[in-house]
Structure 1
Amino acid sequence: MNPESIKRIYHGDKLVYEAVPAITSLTPDPKTYTAGTIHTASTSNDILNALIAAGPGDIIECNPGKYAKISRTTTLNKSNVTIRPKDKNNPPVWQGSGFVFNNVSGVTLDGLHFKSTAKDAEGYPTGTGVRLENYKNITVRNCWFDGYMVQLDVQRGTNIIIEWSSFTGCGMDSIRVFRTNTNVTIRHVEIKNARVNDARAHESNRHPDCIQFACDGNADPSSNVVIEDNVIYGRNDGDGYRQMLFMGNGRVRADAPIAQAGYRRFVVRRNYMEGAHVHGIALEGQIDVLVQGNLLRKFANFSAGHKPTITCIGNQNSGTIDNNVTPDKIGWGRSLDGFKLTRNIISDTAVPVGWVMPKAGPYNGTSPAPNFPGGGSGSSNIPDFAVDDRIELLRASNIRSSATISATTLIGINPKGFRGTLVEGPQSGVQNSQWFKVDFDRGKNNGWVASDNFNKLAANAPIQTTPSYFKVGDKIQLFRSANVRSNTIIEASSLKGVNKKDATGTIKAGPKSGTNNSIWYDIDFDGDSLDGWVVSDNYVIAGVGAGPLPVPVGNHPNTVINAKELAVVRERVLKRQGPQWTAYQALSKDANAGLSFNKTPPKLIVTYPADQTSIARDIFREHSKYAYACALNYQLTGDNRYATKARDIMQKWADIDVYSSSSSAGLHMGSYLVGFMYAYDLLVGYNGWSSANRAKFKSWWYNRILPHCRDVIEGGDPKYVVNNKMVGNDTSKWDPSNWLEAVISCSLATGCAFDDNALRTEMVNRVKKYFINNWRYSYKNYGPGGKKVAVVNGDIDRIKNDSKVIQGIMYTGYGTSSMVQMMEMCRYAGVNVWTYKTPDGINLQQVIEQWWRWNWKNEEFNHYKSQQASGYDLFRKRVNHDNIFELANNHYNMSAEFKTYLKARRPIVNDSPRDEYATLTKGDMPPQ
């Protein structure tokens, strides 16, 4: 419906809405299926060729299968052309980017699946599902979006309908509508379950939104927008910090006149929104907005976060807010001048007058849309699972006695990774999800779970047994106060009392599975502490020295830590001192998880094209993470189990003879497998790794990994290199890039770990060359107001024209995080590069301080200003480089502001491929 058809009345010169006609039909336009020529496609090229050739009303039917990205960036004007499945029960699936359309018109995407498991360097969903720019007359209907950082990205265009679709598992925004868009309709859409944790969700410029409108720069504001009959759950994987409908207006915020920069004729009505962020419906710079008949709820049994409501950002808004029910006051502290408010209720239980739960989500190709049971979601009508399916939990999940969320139905919580068998269902329950009863492999918490919380496993997936993170005889220590019980059942009669944090004891029985499917052990506590059963989540192997501590051999360790630093870390952990004690808890948790890590890498790992990159990185990262965590914990506890597990993880790669034959392999191996070298270095002297197997591992590394690093440095086979070289003495021909830092760091770690003096010396000399002139570090006028600041050449000027992203700040972090690791290894080798300066006087302190101000302080980046003004995104990436902070703090007199920030952020543990335990190994550690 066109918002212009809304009936209006005036009070003086003030325009308000009085009545809104109901939509006469909620079913898809039958013209979408009108006869035209039917084209059949089996590949993305087939689709694109058919689209180019299609006439008015034509239909492109896609055979079942997996499809690659389809990109069309030159003008293509069509009329009512539909792309849909040939078999609605077996639709085509895009397992990466789907469509990138620029200047395309007259196309409907109907019944398509877009699913991505790709993750960025920090493990969050990445990429974009569908991007539409400079569009006209586009419909997205009956589609599924799962994964991606941004699922549907809409920028600059007119006439778009987004309806009857499902958005789940995104890393940031589900539907993003940026800059100038007119005649936008979003209806009957289901949005839920962002795949980001609390830390990511709270980062500046990383707030996840269900639906976001934005207007900044010189872009004209959007107008004629209808957002109605949607079901939105603003939850992430943590504290619920997800904005549901955020309509930010950067131009008005920057003091542009509301008459020129205001959004016009927005209608937001009959939506169901459930979340824990105050921005349920956030209004900024709105002219004549209508917010009517919406029901907002806070997540049940969820103490964190805020109550969602209708908020005003700034004071320049006008319109009508009518017949809404919110759990908190409207406006949330900002002025409501300019609004007509009628019939609104603040309540946790009431509903708007005439409320009917919206029908939302895909209808699986049926036209018209069916009457879903219980007024629930369309997706609940699609049986993705069936009784007898084997499943695995994607996250810690509530287990309930029925498909109803209330305090009385909660049985307990089962952790991520638990497996089970579906024995009953589906049932349509609250949150518009399909629910199943699950018989879990472990423990007594069997019950009903929403299907959004689990994945389907192969029918023959093995039954899960209870893992043994501890063994009888282990000396343990509580790292928080813990209940002690007479058995493993949580009930009043079993509670013996509470033991205080730091209590120590010896395990005398277990493991045993109890309430909440947690792992329990019977512990004989020391002194006056109570003896009894305690959940294993509450303790770690007691301090340093649980077994005989490994004795340093030769100059080892000499990659991520040296012998003197290791002695300091051991002492601080033993005495519970410094940042190391807190950081050790995270290492201990990872190392204990590593004991049950038993994945086998594939023989061939493909790192290119892009849809394979994240898969490869995940494999590299996960295996090297657990090898490094176990090896480091072995050095701190003396427990041979950790050394044995680290050995087994690495040896498996050599026994399989894992290899890669793809372009960019050097970059990704150098970045994400360097943890193997840290682990090997920490295991020198461990007598449980035979000489023959060590030799086999080293031979495999030299033949399968190091050559890819060498290719990046020296050129080599162009098949494996993308213009990154450091050959000869003419620095003008060198390619400044974070690729070089990644592979030099890995190669240097190899020389250190394997006692390869020739390789180590070569790489140390390469690091020294970073300061012979300004080929890598120089001053440029990129600071606030054109201020001259120290930058990392090459990386700082990174820009992607195709996706309009300025990446210089992000890539500076990539390169610098590898550089600081290289500099530490050089120092261990007797060359203190930390004191080096370029002929212009630049050392790494200046580079790091400025990068931190850009990346974390949001300081102005005075470069590519014209691109930023025309809509390019300035991309700042704030995690995965945190080792920089700890190392810079040790070697330089950083600013007081920097030091305050570092202390507040500790402990640093974030899946970094450089050193994810930087607080433990380097925190407040003067160079030793």
Structure 2
Amino acid sequence: MLHTRRRMPLTLALIALLGTALAVVPAGTERRAEAAPATFAHPGVLVSRAQLDFVRGKVNSNAQPWRQAYDQMMGSRYASLTRAPKPRAVVECGSYSNPNLGCTDEREDAIAAYTMALAWYITRDNRYADKAIQIMDAWSAVIVDHTNSNAPLQTAWAGSTWPRAAEIIRYTYTGWPNVNRFATMLRNVYLPEVINGNTTSNGNWDLSMNEATLGIAVFLEDRSAYDRAVTRFRNRMRAYFYLATDGSVPYGPGGGIDTPSEIINYWQGQSTFVDGLSQETCRDFTHTGYGISSATHIAETSRIQGQDLYPEFTDRLRHALGLHSKYQLGTAPPSWLCGGSLHLGLGPITEVGFNALNFRLGIGMTNTQTLTLNQRPAGTNNLFVAWETLTHAANPN
């Protein structure tokens, strides 16, 4: 569900942001906010120092599956030390990447920066840290805006990945003179585009925008932005993943999607609801995978920051992972589910949630486990998911 928007000049956008800083979430869906941490943990976006140390030890001892996952990452184009970043002042992204003016370049440069940051931490080879800095500096020197209908989603995908790279480099490497310019880029170019979320588009948009907001908030140590991301996350989770305890129909996201008929239409016409069903299940599993991935990334970052959201959403996440893994593995869908026809393609998105719920919390997740093991090593979707077997397989930290 895409829409064309009229863009505001950057200064006006910032004014508008300030004017809406206390805006509430959609009517009927507002839930309590949770205070941001008094002291932020760094590095602390998706991966912590303890997690990174665990990974480094496993790779350097040639333990599996981490060594295989590391070799996969290092053999990818994202780990090439000859990579030349391709920054643009204005990245223009239309529906289904038409037009695509810098969209792929931006997303993949962000993944490359994150890849280099991971490579630096594991190898301690300065060349990788310096290459990550080169890529991040190239973009922070140039970019001023994102435009066209996919601007919010594009900003969210790149804005989810940049802070992961930046957190590792900033807090484990010395010698990043332009770090403050990079922080200004995140605050002025990315945060205004994602902080208010997106109520009425398909829910993977809002979750991706939440993920970017939270990661940027951690890097900037912006407690207000952090709180807003968590509030929107809580609202979206119950409007995206169904549980029988929600009632006969899922919660609506608001924004004019409130009645049972409006909600069923929003859920792609699906009128039978079971635990773990997603608002986008009957659209396709690929977009559903984006939503699951962002949800687990947000929960993982919040846990690192000392505010563990997993217990609050354990049932929604475990059922969502289990249901979609079951059908991704080949179980034939019943006729009541999406008319008996599913569009598969979940992607490499199960590792973070599986590690959190199964390995750390001890919850049995047979279908998710089977799919996760079958997909190892999980690579990248070339959008915002990358190398999660490496970073989160059986990671106790």
The TM-score by the shorter chain falls in which range? 0.7 to 0.9
1:823 deviates by 0.5
Mapped pair 1:850 → 2:337: no
Of 700, 725, 737, the match for 2:185: 700
One-letter amino acid of the structure 2 residue matched with residue 835 of structure 1 = P
Of 337, 340, 349, the match for 1:881: 349
One-letter amino acid of the structure 2 residue matched with residue 637 of structure 1 = T
1:758 deviates by 2.6
Greater helix proportion: 2
In the TM superposition, what whole-angstrom CA distance separates every residue of 1:762-806 from its partner, at most 9, and x where no partner exists?
3233334456x6675334799xxx986223553235xxxxxxxxx
1:822 deviates by 0.5
Aligned residue-pair number: 333
Please tell me whether the aligned partners of residues 669 and 705 of structure 1 are also in contact (alpha carbons under 8 angstroms): yes
1:614 deviates by 5.2
Counting only pairs closer than 5 Å after superposition, residues 482-521 of structure 1 correspond to structure 2 as none
Please tell me whether the aligned partners of residues 66 and 393 of structure 2 are also in contact (alpha carbons under 8 angstroms): yes
Aligned residue number for residue 809 of structure 1: 285
1:752 deviates by 1.5
Flag the 1:893–1:697 CA change in 2: closer, same or farther, 3 A: same
Aligned residue number for residue 386 of structure 2: 916
Counting only pairs closer than 5 Å after superposition, residues 172-211 of structure 1 correspond to structure 2 as none
One-letter amino acid of the structure 2 residue matched with residue 688 of structure 1 = G
Counting only pairs closer than 5 Å after superposition, residues 756-767 of structure 1 correspond to structure 2 as 756-767=222-233
Please tell me whether the aligned partners of residues 157 and 212 of structure 2 are also in contact (alpha carbons under 8 angstroms): yes
Mapped to 2, the partners of 1:851 and 1:603 lie a distance apart of 39
Aligned residue number for residue 275 of structure 2: 790
Please tell me whether the aligned partners of residues 591 and 633 of structure 1 are also in contact (alpha carbons under 8 angstroms): no
Mapped to 2, the partners of 1:865 and 1:610 lie a distance apart of 23
Aligned residue number for residue 564 of structure 1: 50
Aligned residue number for residue 177 of structure 1: none
1:646 deviates by 0.6
Flag the 1:913–1:845 CA change in 2: closer, same or farther, 3 A: same
One-letter amino acid of the structure 1 residue matched with residue 124 of structure 2 = G
Flag the 1:571–1:876 CA change in 2: closer, same or farther, 3 A: same
1:669 deviates by 1.8
Please tell me whether the aligned partners of residues 742 and 815 of structure 1 are also in contact (alpha carbons under 8 angstroms): yes
Flag the 1:612–1:591 CA change in 2: closer, same or farther, 3 A: closer
Mapped to 2, the partners of 1:788 and 1:679 lie a distance apart of 39
Of 746, 750, 762, the match for 2:212: 746
Flag the 1:574–1:865 CA change in 2: closer, same or farther, 3 A: closer
Please tell me whether the aligned partners of residues 606 and 661 of structure 1 are also in contact (alpha carbons under 8 angstroms): yes
Greater strand proportion: 1
Mapped to 2, the partners of 1:614 and 1:889 lie a distance apart of 39
Aligned residue number for residue 821 of structure 1: 297
1:895 deviates by 3.1
Identity of aligned residues (%): 21
Mapped pair 1:684 → 2:170: yes
Flag the 1:632–1:594 CA change in 2: closer, same or farther, 3 A: same
Flag the 1:746–1:828 CA change in 2: closer, same or farther, 3 A: same
Aligned residue number for residue 364 of structure 2: 894
In the TM superposition, what whole-angstrom CA distance separates every residue of 1:444-463 from its partner, at most 9, and x where no partner exists?
xxxxxxxxxxxxxxxxxxxx
In the TM superposition, what whole-angstrom CA distance separates every residue of 1:13-39 from its partner, at most 9, and x where no partner exists?
xxxxxxxxxxxxxxxxxxxxxxxxxxx
In the TM superposition, what whole-angstrom CA distance separates every residue of 1:616-674 from its partner, at most 9, and x where no partner exists?
44222210111010011111121111111111101111212342222221112212442
In the TM superposition, what whole-angstrom CA distance separates every residue of 1:521-545 from its partner, at most 9, and x where no partner exists?
xxxxxxxxxxxxxxxxxxxxxxxxx
Aligned residue number for residue 6 of structure 2: none
Mapped to 2, the partners of 1:759 and 1:742 lie a distance apart of 15
Flag the 1:694–1:854 CA change in 2: closer, same or farther, 3 A: same
1:884 deviates by 5.1
Q: What TM-score do the two structures reach when normalised by structure 2? A: 0.74
In the TM superposition, what whole-angstrom CA distance separates every residue of 1:801-837 from its partner, at most 9, and x where no partner exists?
xxxxxx2433322211110100101111222221115
Counting only pairs closer than 5 Å after superposition, residues 464-475 of structure 1 correspond to structure 2 as none
Mapped to 2, the partners of 1:600 and 1:894 lie a distance apart of 44
Unaligned runs of 5+ in 2: 1-38, 250-266
One-letter amino acid of the structure 1 residue matched with residue 41 of structure 2 = N
Mapped to 1, the partners of 2:222 and 2:299 lie a distance apart of 18
One-letter amino acid of the structure 1 residue matched with residue 215 of structure 2 = A
One-letter amino acid of the structure 2 residue matched with residue 918 of structure 1 = E
Please tell me whether the aligned partners of residues 92 and 103 of structure 2 are also in contact (alpha carbons under 8 angstroms): no
Flag the 1:709–1:925 CA change in 2: closer, same or farther, 3 A: same
1:559 deviates by 0.8
Please tell me whether the aligned partners of residues 749 and 825 of structure 1 are also in contact (alpha carbons under 8 angstroms): yes
Please tell me whether the aligned partners of residues 276 and 322 of structure 2 are also in contact (alpha carbons under 8 angstroms): no
In the TM superposition, what whole-angstrom CA distance separates every residue of 1:361-382 from its partner, at most 9, and x where no partner exists?
xxxxxxxxxxxxxxxxxxxxxx
Aligned residue number for residue 627 of structure 1: 113
In the TM superposition, what whole-angstrom CA distance separates every residue of 1:590-619 from its partner, at most 9, and x where no partner exists?
488431101322322211144525554422
Of 212, 232, 242, the match for 1:777: 242
1:710 deviates by 2.6
1:883 deviates by 4.1
Aligned residue number for residue 641 of structure 1: 127
Mapped to 1, the partners of 2:329 and 2:47 lie a distance apart of 27
Match of 1:790, SS? coil
Mapped to 2, the partners of 1:897 and 1:917 lie a distance apart of 21
Please tell me whether the aligned partners of residues 347 and 381 of structure 2 are also in contact (alpha carbons under 8 angstroms): no
Counting only pairs closer than 5 Å after superposition, residues 401-412 of structure 1 correspond to structure 2 as none
Larger RCO (CA under 8 A, 6+ residues apart) = 2
Please tell me whether the aligned partners of residues 594 and 645 of structure 1 are also in contact (alpha carbons under 8 angstroms): no
Mapped to 2, the partners of 1:601 and 1:865 lie a distance apart of 41
Please tell me whether the aligned partners of residues 569 and 580 of structure 1 are also in contact (alpha carbons under 8 angstroms): yes
Q: What TM-score do the two structures reach when normalised by structure 1? A: 0.33
One-letter amino acid of the structure 2 residue matched with residue 920 of structure 1 = L
One-letter amino acid of the structure 2 residue matched with residue 705 of structure 1 = Y
Unaligned runs of 5+ in 1: 1-552, 714-723, 726-733, 798-806
The structure number with the bigger radius of gyration is 1
One-letter amino acid of the structure 2 residue matched with residue 847 of structure 1 = A
Flag the 1:766–1:581 CA change in 2: closer, same or farther, 3 A: same
